[in-house]
Structure 1
Amino acid sequence: MRVLVTGAAGFIGAAVARRLCERGDSVLGIDSLDPYYQVSLKEDRLRELTAAAPDRFAFKQVDFSDWAALQSALEGEEFAAIIHLGAQAGVRYSLENPHAYVSANLMGHLNLLEIARARQTGHMVYASSSSVYGGNDKLPFAVEDRADHPVSLYAATKRADELMSETYAHLYRLPLTGLRFFTVYGPWGRPDMALWLFTDAILAGRPIKVFNHGEMWRDFTFIDDIVSGVVACLDKPPADDDSEKAGGSVKPHALYNIGNHRSEHLMKVIGLIEDACGKKAQLEMLPMQAGDVEKTYADIDAIQRDIGYQPTTTIEHGIPQFVQWYRAYHGV
């Protein structure tokens, strides 16, 4: 099977593309190589991916929020399914550059839905986010919980993607699966994420910024577990049978949390990074940052029941793997 993967130069996209190629599928990857963080890292991911699967992976640089450019790039290309992982990521950056989120996350998502509709694609799996739960106090977050009080524009765009997808599943009977990711980390991760920022600062002897004075909890999910869940979801599109799917839709549209089902205290995470680095962190304790939430915790009953997803990597094993990769990649 040939699969279109958006955000193929990104952290999750590159890992998913590699897994698909390893199991015998072929991948057409697209990415705009946006300079939100260093393009060199994205190019290195693509180089590694191309070297690992030269006959199964093809790449085109295109901004999928540009409808004309996307249509042109995909002209003559065939694929049976779509994994739409490309997006403007980051809660904090949405405070600085809101237009980027509307362009990439709203127009971009609509464009991929239109591609799927026009081609009657067999299944599209797309990235949502745990941020859609906003400041919900009920833990763990379940897909049946309300998600209509976002606390950041990033969260609002991801919830809007889910609502647009529900509409397309209703109007055009497109099989769609949305995945609410919970704090993904691991080798080849993103430089704007806490693990990268903390590791970088600790090794360089700089202080790390610890928001809410360290009273933060996150459901950290290792990249290999995420990839296994994404691919398993791809293989099981929601049926168009009027039955209620995870998330409440009776159309061929399912929503799943994809996390580790463990909410870890930030100070514990910092301690594990210190151990892996062999250095103590200098802590700069700060108040809660606008748009952030205190706790995330994934209820994964639905994806376990329907897909058989089962995360296996604890932070005690995953964090040292990230730090080892980081040091090798940067030669430190």
Structure 2
Amino acid sequence: MRGLAVICALITGPVWAQSPADDAQAAAVRLGEARVALDAADGRSDRVAALTQTVQAYEDGLAALRDGLRRAAIRQRTLETDLASRSEEVARLLGVLQTMERSPAPILLLHPNGPTGTARSGMMLADVTPALQDRVVALRAQLEELAVLQGLQGDALTILADGLQGAQDARAALSKAIADRTDLPSRFAEDPVQTALLLASSETLEAFASGLVETQTGSGPDAATVKGAIPLPVEGQVLRGFNEADAAGIARPGFVIATRPRALVTTPVPATVRYAGPLLDYGNVMILEPAKDVLWVLAGLEQVFGEVGQIVPEGTPVGIMGGQSPSAQGILTESGQGSAGQRSETLYLEVRDRQSAVNPAEWFAVE
């Protein structure tokens, strides 16, 4: 009876869900497609747009792969722990199955209590055998999934290294394509002397932005019609909201957005470039004008793209975040520890309407 109880416990044990390795493998396919897109971008007339999509495809593919590897590592540990904890029961199950395979069917049905006992044991065996078979199938599936997960770890290093190199190549190609671009309309020509004087006389971001508003020239795009439904200019997470104090008690009238290293920053709507370059202690800053008297300040970039006065269309790259992308081995290590990658860089986003800073949530759709 104890042996039968063990078998029944195995039969009613947990049935595991589909392996997350499939998601990781799908992400690897996406990285392969991004490499094909990168090779094809050289011949495209809209090379900047094609390379922008390629960089974003690499970023999405790498993020998906990291998440897939993290969940695969967790799943692998779960399977190994589960199988190890049930090793005695699994061994007994295999022993019962081996005994059944070696014993002739008539002997299995014999019972010392005569025909009644034989009939009863036959009915019990008929009930248990299909369930045993189901459990064997489930056990085989677990072992096969474990083998796939272990194989994935072996292939991941090469896939990650290729993906990281491809992303680096795509960013470099994008930077060159933007520098060579000559097809963007220009709303006005920058006055370098006026800009230098404004920089020299401004001690705060507010003063500089106010000076830009006072030097309005002509008319440009108007994003007011989509106000409140505009996506953030970078994939990330809002760490601090409008006027929300940080750990030091300092509150800023904007969003602090956590991003991954080297993340691409784009303009979500057409806008005029009002300033691009270093500003005070904010690092490299991009200031866009999406509507009359409205400025978006994007601060904390490592690289900025665009010339003052240009009207950049929706989806145009305006900068790249700083930081260093982790190595392939580093990603594998963090995945094995259950981490999906850190958003170690921060983008500061401030929205100014005329002379005042307003809550960016009035313009941007924030989850």
Q: Greater Rg, structure 1 or structure 2?
A: 2
TM-score, length basis structure 2: 0.24
More helix by share: 2
- Give me the TM-score of the superposition, normalised by structure 1: 0.26
